[in-house]
Amino acid sequence: MNRPPVTDWTADFDHLDPTFVADPYPIYEQLRTDCPIAHTDRYHGVWIPTRYEDLAAIAHDHHHFSSRTILVTDRPESPHDLGFHAPPITEDPPYHTDIRRLLLPVFSPKVVADYEPITRAMANDLIDGFITDGGCDAATDFAQHVPIKVITRMLGIPDSDHAQFRDWIHRLIEESPIAGDATFEAIFEIGGYLAGHVDQHRTSPRDDIITHLLEARMPDGRPLTDEEILGVCILLLLAGIDTTWSAIGSSLLHLATNPDDRRRLRDEPDLINSATEEFLRVFAPVTMAREVIEDTEVGGCPMRKGDRLLLPFPSGNRDPEIFDRPDNVVLDREANRHFAFGVGIHRCLGSNLARMELRVALQTWLERIPEFTLTDPDAVTWSAGQVRGPRTLPFAFTAG
Amino acid sequence: MRVVVDAERCQGHNRCHALAPVLFDIDDLGYATAAPGSVPADLEAAARLAEANCPEHAITIDP
């Protein structure tokens, strides 16, 4: 796929352009200043609002902005029209409200707290696997596996298929703008894989999310359909892995390359909670999308039914109108209304879980590997698409 | 001082409970309510922190 390089970001934005993938933040800064609601003709036409207040207003307005399109692709159809339903994230009220209520208890703070010791043990096991080597790829040997191990355990499926998950995530979330049919083939492959596991749970119920979904009832008393159960499982598997992997990787990269913050977080462990929020603000991985379902206007820009938008929460999180020193990592930042997890009715269902995973991964890493460095800055690679995080992180440390 | 949670705005981010667990209760779905009574003097700073970290602006402080 040959796409011409972007020369004018205000009129020809492309979130897959290599310059943007390498470092999106100066581009967002330029857009917030020069053209806060940009438009590109690429990908069948997409609006790109970049200021915090505009992003918040759109995310809160589900009457005009539908979640039927949450991935911007090179297909003219909405993902919905191609059969991609991953409720609740791809749905609108009132259906969204009902099915989301079934899932909220599974990710409540109390349930997440129960998973903390398990997550800590998993992180320690991963570190045991490479600590004697004096180095590792922190993205693929560590960051990736923490969320895979946790979400597969919660769902009730084996974590041994992680290479397959990674391939699906890559095709669906990272390559989707240019992958064409491969994106939607990935969805059906995941569905087929999960269907077998759902059938097993039907005959032998367990204490996990798949069993919870099989036993759940909508407000009118009906059970979920097979399609609904598979759609939810696809969401949890995909959204639960790529995002947290990215946040853990970005945070570790910052600590590897900023010795003052690394030492401070080690010497002042009570800072971990505010530091976790700050990493989520500065390195927010997720950009969402919406589709206009009723003509409206934002910041003087007329938006017509059928128009698509990207919602780059990472840009809002660095808006100087909201955040002091927005590009700096301030480990003890006090006021931090970031929206790494979005805002409004689609607030990330797994935000409590993701926060716990990120905090525990960082705590465990710093306890076991207090000093570490990035061996080759040029070797770091970044995912493209609507989830951003490092995919190669060569680290060195003293073998333990 | 009292804290007030606007149930219409709360989306269950849970930031208030993380910052001031004594001042905010969380139900099984993750939504917050203000614990009954006024805020003890030693928790006033925590209450302000909770207000300043709610992404939905769902918390107000009644001095």
Give the ipTM. 0.97
CB nearest to A108's CB, from B13, B28, B56: B28
Best of B6, B8, B10, B15 to disrupt the A interface (most A CBs within 10 Å) is: B15
Which candidate, A43, A263, A240, places its Cα nearest to that of A151? A240
CB A352 within 8 A of CB A109: yes
Q: Give the CA count within 13 Å in the CB-facing half-sphere of A56.
A: 15
Mean pLDDT of B4-24: 97
List chain B residues with CB under 8 Å of A335: 49, 52-53
What does the alpha-carbon distance between residue A53 and residue A299 come to, in Å, rounded to a whole number? 10
CB B30 within 8 A of CB A352: yes
What does the alpha-carbon distance between residue A393 and residue A254 come to, in Å, rounded to a whole number? 11
| Domain enclosing residue B56, as ranges | 2-62
Question: How many domains, chain B?
Answer: 1
List chain B residues with CB under 8 Å of A334: 49, 52
* Token representation of residue A194: 């999960």
Tens of pLDDT, residue by residue over A157-201, are: 988 888 888 888 877 777 666 666 777 788 888 889 999 999 999
Q: Which parts of chain A have pLDDT scores under 70?
A: 1-2, 175-180
Domain extents for chain A? 78-289+326-337+344-396
Alpha helices (H) in A129-241, listed in sequence order: 145-155, 162-169, 176-179, 181-203, 209-215, 226-239
The CATH number given to whatever domain includes residue B52 is 3.30.70.20
Whether residue A337 and residue B54 make contact (CB cut-off 8 A), yes or no, is: yes
Tens of pLDDT, residue by residue over A331-371, are: 999 999 999 999 999 999 999 999 999 999 999 999 999 99
Cα nearest neighbour of B56 on chain A: A343
Peptide bond into A88 cis (omega under 30): yes
What pLDDT is attached to residue A10? Answer: 96
| Alpha-carbon distance A255 to nearest alpha carbon in chain B (angstroms) | 24
What pLDDT is attached to residue A166? Answer: 80
Q: Quick one: CATH architecture of A78-289+326-337+344-396?
A: Orthogonal Bundle (1.10)
